[in-house]
Amino acid sequence: MSFSVIHNGTLEYLAASCIPVPHAFSTRRGGVSGGYLSSLNLGPHRGDRLENVVENYRILGQAVGFRPEDTVFTWQEHTDVILRVGRTDRGTGLFREQNTICDGLVTDEPGVALCAFSADCTPVLLCDPVKGAIAAVHAGWRGTALGIVKTAAETMFQATKPASRLISRLPAAHSHRLSRPYHGTAGARLMVQVELKSERG
């Protein structure tokens, strides 16, 4: 599995070669936030102005292919809880509170941008491009010990017979080796946007 560093103006993010749907592992480069949140802050509860955070999602979304209104956030507490979401959940986390603790999100509905956050934990993507299902998972050591990735896969494939499974993870801070320094690992976030046009089986 390989990652590409994508540049769009000052915006910088990573994409995994094995995931065929629009997605991004963001860095902190290319946004409008200032100070210690400079510059692509995607966390609305870190002391930034909401207008800055929404603009940062707009910038990232313009490059990747989603709108800020399409996003659904996790509420991470190092659990193995996976939440199935859809179009009616869009805006949860950014424009209204996420009230359900979950360290992973699953959807099989187009037009939903899944957002999971990671610092020193491992963000994981799961994808079935044929059936149109995708998951974004925050896999910390507690969640990993509880089997969160397995739970996400089971939740993702619960309603459909899996056609193909693709998994990608951003290398963890303690074990990654990249060909050049990856700036912003401490603030890395996983953003997945689903726009699948495949036929349903």
Tens-place pLDDT, residues 153-172: 889 887 556 666 666 665 54
Contact 65, 22 (CB under 8 A): yes
Q: What is the pTM of this model?
A: 0.82
Lowest mean pLDDT: which of 45-49, 61-65, 119-123, 160-164? 160-164
Query: Residue 200: what pLDDT?
Result: 33
Domain extent listing, the chain? 3-194
Write the burial class of residue 134 (CB in 10 Å: 0-12 exposed, 13-18 middle, 19+ buried). Answer: buried
Length of the chain, please? 201
User: pLDDT digits over 21-38, tens only?
Assistant: 899 999 999 999 999 999
Q: Tell me how far apart the alpha carbons of residues 115 and 89 are, in angstroms, rounded to a whole number.
A: 12
CATH topology for 3-194 is CNF1/YfiH-like putative cysteine hydrolases (3.60.140)
pLDDT > 50? residue 188: no
Query: Residue 41: what pLDDT?
Result: 95
User: pLDDT digits over 94-151, tens only?
Assistant: 999 999 999 999 999 999 999 999 988 899 988 888 788 899 999 999 999 999 999 9
Q: Tell me how far apart the alpha carbons of residues 96 and 41 are, in angstroms, rounded to a whole number.
A: 18
Query: Residue 170: what pLDDT?
Result: 55
